[in-house]
Amino acid sequence: MSKRIFLDGKFVDHDDARISVFDHGYLYGDGVFEGIRAYSGRIFRLQAHVDRLFSSAKTLMLQIPYTKEKMTELIVEACRVNGLQDAYIRVVVSRGAGDLGLDPTKCPKPTVVVIADSIALYPESLYRSGLTVCTSSIRRQRAEALNPQIKSLNYLNSILAKIEANQRGCQEVVMLSEEGFVAECSADNIFIVRGRKLLTPAPHLGILLGITRDAVMDVARAAGYDVVETTFTRHEMWNADEVFLTGTAAEIVSVVSIDERVVGNGKPGPVAAELQAAFRELAKRDGAAI
C-alpha cells in the first residue's frame, strides 16, 4: 500500500506529495523539522518534539499554520492512516514558495509535511559491535551564527562533518565547539562514562538539545548514575570507560573507537546496554497513544 503523506492540509498518496521548486525550504534550507519515533503504538515524547518544532520556528519567525494541539493530532493521524505502530515520523515546515530572492516575506504560505515511515540508521550488527568515529575538522557553528538549538533544514554544518567521516571510513563524527570542547556528533548527542558518572556536553557548547539525550539523563539518574552537563575535551573522551551516542533515529549506540584510540576494552560497555534496556522500557509505556 502506498504511503499517505500529509501535505498542505490533506493526506495525499506518496507519488502526489510534491512541493514547488520555488519553496524556500528547497532553495535556501529555510525551514524547520523534527524526527520522531513511535514504539509499540506510542509516540515517544511527542509533546517535547512539537514544542521544539514550534521553538525552532519561532526563532526563524516562521508561522506554523496550526496550533500545537492540531500539529500533535496530525502526527498521530499520520501514523494511523498508514497503519503504523512502530514508526519514524518526519515533520517538516518550510517557508513555502516565494521568488528567487531569499526574502522570507515573499513566501505567503508555509509548507507543512508529515511523513510516517520507518528508519534503520545503522545496521543491527553495529549495535552489537559499536561504532568507529573520528573528530571532524568542521566545528559546530556558534550560536550567534546559526544556533544549533534550531532544528533547521540547513544541515550543511553536519553534512560537511559527515563527509569527513565517510572519507575516513567512520560511521559517525565528533564535532567540537568553537573553543575545542566536545560538542556532539553530526546527528546525535554524546555521553562519556566514568565509573558511576555520566558526562554530556552542556547546552552552551552549541548542541541540539536532544530529546533522547533528555530521556537518557532521566533513566540514568533513576538508575543511580550521577549525570553532569559540562565541558570536556577529547582527552577525557578518549580515556572514558565508555562512550555512547543518543538520538531519535540511533537511540543509544556505543562507540568503541575514536580517532584510532580504543574506548575501554573495545566493546560496547555495560552502562550503555543498561541504559538502552531502560530506555526501551520507558519508550514502551511513555508517549501519546496512536
Question: Which of left, alpha, beta for 258 (phi over 0: left; psi -120 to 50: alpha)?
Answer: beta
Among residues 4, 184, 206, 220, which is the contact residue for ligand PLP, using CB under 6 A?
184
- Residue count of the chain: 290
Q: How far is the CB of 225 from ligand PLP (least distance, A)?
A: 18
Q: How far is the CB of 99 from ligand PLP (least distance, A)?
A: 30
Cα 179 from Cα 236, distance rounded (Å): 15
Q: Which stretch binds ligand PLP (CB under 6 A): 63-71, 159-167, 203-211, 235-243?
A: 203-211
Under rule CB under 6 A, residue 247 binds ligand PLP: yes
Do residues 159 and 141 make contact, with C-beta atoms less than 8 angstroms apart?
A: no
Under rule CB under 6 A, residue 25 binds ligand PLP: no
Q: How far is the CB of 136 from ligand PLP (least distance, A)?
A: 12
Under rule CB under 6 A, residue 189 binds ligand PLP: yes
Please say which residue, 97 or 165, places its beta carbon nearer to ligand PLP.
165
110 Cβ partners below 8 Å, 6+ apart? 31, 62, 63, 64, 65, 93, 94, 95, 96
Do residues 100 and 113 make contact, with C-beta atoms less than 8 angstroms apart?
A: no
# residues contacting ligand PLP (CB under 6 A): 14
Under rule CB under 6 A, residue 141 binds ligand PLP: no
Cβ neighbours around 55 below 10 Å, total: 15
Under rule CB under 6 A, residue 200 binds ligand PLP: no
Among residues 135, 171, 212, 276, which is the contact residue for ligand PLP, using CB under 6 A?
212
Catalytic residue set: 151
Under rule CB under 6 A, residue 35 binds ligand PLP: yes
What grid cell was written down for 272? Answer: 550503555
Under rule CB under 6 A, residue 210 binds ligand PLP: yes
Do residues 90 and 34 make contact, with C-beta atoms less than 8 angstroms apart?
A: yes
Please say which residue, 97 or 278, places its beta carbon nearer to ligand PLP.
278
Cα 29 from Cα 16, distance rounded (Å): 22
Residues 151-180 binding ligand PLP (CB under 6 A) are: 158
SS3 229: strand
Please say which residue, 174 or 193, places its beta carbon nearer to ligand PLP.
174
Q: How far is the CB of 250 from ligand PLP (least distance, A)?
A: 8
Under rule CB under 6 A, residue 206 binds ligand PLP: no
Cβ neighbours around 132 below 10 Å, total: 19
Residue 177 CB-density burial (10 A; 0-12 exposed, 13-18 middle, 19+ buried): buried
What grid cell was written down for 131? Answer: 561504532
Please say which residue, 107 or 237, places its beta carbon nearer to ligand PLP.
237
Among candidates 278, 156, 157, which has minimal Cα distance to 223?
A: 278
The residues binding ligand PLP (CB under 6 A) are 35, 158, 184, 187-189, 208, 210-213, 246-248
